[in-house]
């Protein structure tokens, strides 16, 4: 029985928590909001400054997005579609969170933007901006309220005036029986002079107030005219700034186009030169190859020639040595003959030229 009561109390507590919803959170309005994707925490939305954005991509399909406070209370969320976009705008205390979910075949992405309420967020910024800017930001609201107040005052005054005039006119048009002595008790409707005087005073007061009101209205109108002038100036300045920005952009674009053209031209020239250079390099490479081939051939020829020269040089030296031996033998024989021959032969031998290297055997003989 006790466990039943315990269970019932627990169930009731859970239901109460659920009814309280986001009010259970004890976080302050400036504390960050946690973003959960498919029940996994993916980031924070900061509420301290201005707008904050969180962009998350996922390989897997997104099923749900949850926003939770730092103490874990579920503030809001979005169930993602199986395919395509879904957006939601969740209003929290002093904040609105915009959720955009996109699911594709490749996965999903989510974009969460935290936008503080204007009053909450821009209070300090507005103080920095100036009166002109303020007026420019909310001209319609200001003018509307002012105009309504003025119109209301005018209507009120007009009604009061009409009332007074009707009252006076009625008094004047009513036949006055002055010949009859009328007392206050007999004619209760007849106003005494004192009251009339008071009424006149009130009327004077009213007219003074009206004058004041008219003056105030005029002042307001002047103020509004000034404000409008300022706004006009501001808008003209803004237009001028915008036109300047546009001019600058156009110039930049034109300059950009010129730059592009020049760059393209330079690139074309460079490309052409590069191509020429490549062609030249190619031809030079071919010529170089040819030359190296020729050089190799020449070297081969040279080698062959050297070999042949060497072989011929050996033959010549051998033949020269043989000639020398033959010459020495001949000289010996001649000397022998001179020793025993007649003087003519001796004379002929003296007239003989001396032998030198390279002298052929025939000439010696």
Partner 1 sequence: MILGAQPIRGREQTMSERTATLGRLEQMVATAEEFDRVVSQALPILLDRAAGYTKRFLRETGQWTDDVAHEKFVLRWGAEYLEQFLVFGRSEVPCRPLFLLDSIVAKQHSRAEPFCYSSDLLTPLGRFIDGLVRRAAISRDALIALFHHCYGLGPGQVITVLRLNGSVSQRIYKNFQRWRGSGWKRTIESMDISETELQGLNEQQCYQRHQFNCDAERMLGLAQGHYRKSEPDHYPCLSRHQWKGMFQQGYGIEYRIWHLALCRDCLQTVWDLGFNGASDIEIPRVALQLQP
Q: Rule CB under 8 A: is residue 30 a binding residue for partner 1? A: no
Q: Rule CB under 8 A: is residue 27 a binding residue for partner 1? A: yes
What track of x and - describes contact with partner 1 for positions 35 through 54 (by CB under 8 A)?
Answer: -x--xxxx------------
Q: Would strands 64-68 and 84-92 be described as parallel, antiparallel, or unpaired?
A: unpaired
Distance in Å, CB of 4 to partner 1, minimum? 6
Contacting range for partner 1; rule: CB under 8 A; set: 23-31, 120-128, 231-239, 270-278: 23-31
Among residues 40 and 128, whose Cβ is nearest to partner 1?
A: 40
Contacting range for partner 1; rule: CB under 8 A; set: 16-24, 205-213, 266-274, 277-285: 16-24
Q: Would strands 74-79 and 84-92 be described as parallel, antiparallel, or unpaired?
A: unpaired
Give the Å distances, CA to CA, from 359 to 316, 323, 331, 340, 365.
12, 9, 15, 28, 10
Taking CB under 8 A as the criterion, the residue among 21, 50, 84, 118 binding partner 1 is: 21
Q: Rule CB under 8 A: is residue 19 a binding residue for partner 1? A: yes
Distance in Å, CB of 31 to partner 1, minimum? 8
Among residues 43 and 146, whose Cβ is nearest to partner 1?
A: 43
Among residues 80 and 227, whose Cβ is nearest to partner 1?
A: 80
CA distance linking residue 209 with residue 204, whole number of Å: 8
Residue 176 backbone phi and psi in degrees, to 5: -100, 120
**Of all residues in the chain, what percent are helix, strand and coil, respectively (each to 5)?**
65, 15, 20
Instruction: Please state, as a whole number, how many other Cβ atoms lie within 10 Å of the Cβ of residue 345.
Output: 13
Task: Please list every residue from 55 through 114 that binds partner 1, using CB under 8 A.
Answer: 63-64, 66, 68, 70-72, 74, 76-79, 86, 88
Distance in Å, CB of 103 to partner 1, minimum? 14
Contacting range for partner 1; rule: CB under 8 A; set: 4-12, 150-158, 174-182, 250-258: 4-12
Among residues 32 and 139, whose Cβ is nearest to partner 1?
A: 32
SS3 92: strand
Among residues 8 and 240, whose Cβ is nearest to partner 1?
A: 8
CA distance linking residue 234 with residue 246, whole number of Å: 18
The DSSP secondary-structure symbol of 23 reads: G
Q: Rule CB under 8 A: is residue 10 a binding residue for partner 1? A: yes
Distance in Å, CB of 17 to partner 1, minimum? 8
Q: Rule CB under 8 A: is residue 17 a binding residue for partner 1? A: yes
Distance in Å, CB of 95 to partner 1, minimum? 16
Quick one: which of 357, 259, 273, 255 has its CA closest to 316? 357
Distance in Å, CB of 115 to partner 1, minimum? 18
CA distance linking residue 288 with residue 281, whole number of Å: 10
CA distance linking residue 81 with residue 151, whole number of Å: 53
Q: Rule CB under 8 A: is residue 7 a binding residue for partner 1? A: yes
Distance in Å, CB of 49 to partner 1, minimum? 12
Q: Which residues pair with 79 in a beta bridge?
A: 64
Count of chain residues binding partner 1 (CB under 8 A): 38
Non-local (6+) Cβ contacts of 68 within 8 A are 33, 34, 36, 74, 75
Where would I find the beta strands (DSSP E) of the chain? 33-37, 40-45, 52-58, 64-68, 74-79, 84-92, 95-104, 107-116
Residues that bind partner 1 (CB under 8 A): 3-4, 6-8, 10-11, 13-15, 17-19, 21, 24, 26-27, 31, 34, 36, 39-42, 63-64, 66, 68, 70-72, 74, 76-79, 86, 88
């Amino acid at each position: 029985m006790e466990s039943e009561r315990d269970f019932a109390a627990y169930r009731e507590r859970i239901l109460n928590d659920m009814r309280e919803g986001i009010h259970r959170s004890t976080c302050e309005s400036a504390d960050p909001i946690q973003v959960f994707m498919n029940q996994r925490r993916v980031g924070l939305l900061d509420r301290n400054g201005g707008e904050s954005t969180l962009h998350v991509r996922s390989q897997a399909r997104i099923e749900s997005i949850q926003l939770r406070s730092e103490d874990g209370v579920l503030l809001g969320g979005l169930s993602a579609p199986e395919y395509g976009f879904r957006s939601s705008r969740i209003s929290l205390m002093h904040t609105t969170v915009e959720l955009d979910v996109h699911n594709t075949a490749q996965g999903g992405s989510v974009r969460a933007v935290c936008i503080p309420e204007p009053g909450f967020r821009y209070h300090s910024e507005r103080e920095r901006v100036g009166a002109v800017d303020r007026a420019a930001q909310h001209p319609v609201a200001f003018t509307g309220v002012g105009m309504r107040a003025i119109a209301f005052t005018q209507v009120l005054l007009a009604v009061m005036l009409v009332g007074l005039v009707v009252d006076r006119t009625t008094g004047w048009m009513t036949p006055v029986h002055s010949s009859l002595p009328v007392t206050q008790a007999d004619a209760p409707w007849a106003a005494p002079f004192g009251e009339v005087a008071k009424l006149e005073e009130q009327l004077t007061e009213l007219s003074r107030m009206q004058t004041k009101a008219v003056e105030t209205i005029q002042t307001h109108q002047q103020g509004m005219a000034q404000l409008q002038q300022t706004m006009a100036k501001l808008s003209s300045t803004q237009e001028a700034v915008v036109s300047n920005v546009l001019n600058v952009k156009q110039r930049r674009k034109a300059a950009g186009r010129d730059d592009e053209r020049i760059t393209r031209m330079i690139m074309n020239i460079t490309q052409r030169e590069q191509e020429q250079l490549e062609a030249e390099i190619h031809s030079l490479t071919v010529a170089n190859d040819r030359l190296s081939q020729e050089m190799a051939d020449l070297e081969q020829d040279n080698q062959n020639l050297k070999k042949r020269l060497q072989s011929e040089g050996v033959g010549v030296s051998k033949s020269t040595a043989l000639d020398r031996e033959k010459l020495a033998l001949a000289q010996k024989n001649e000397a022998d003959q001179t020793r025993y021959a007649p003087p003519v032969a001796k004379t002929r031998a003296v007239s003989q030229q001396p032998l030198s290297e390279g002298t052929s055997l025939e000439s010696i003989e």
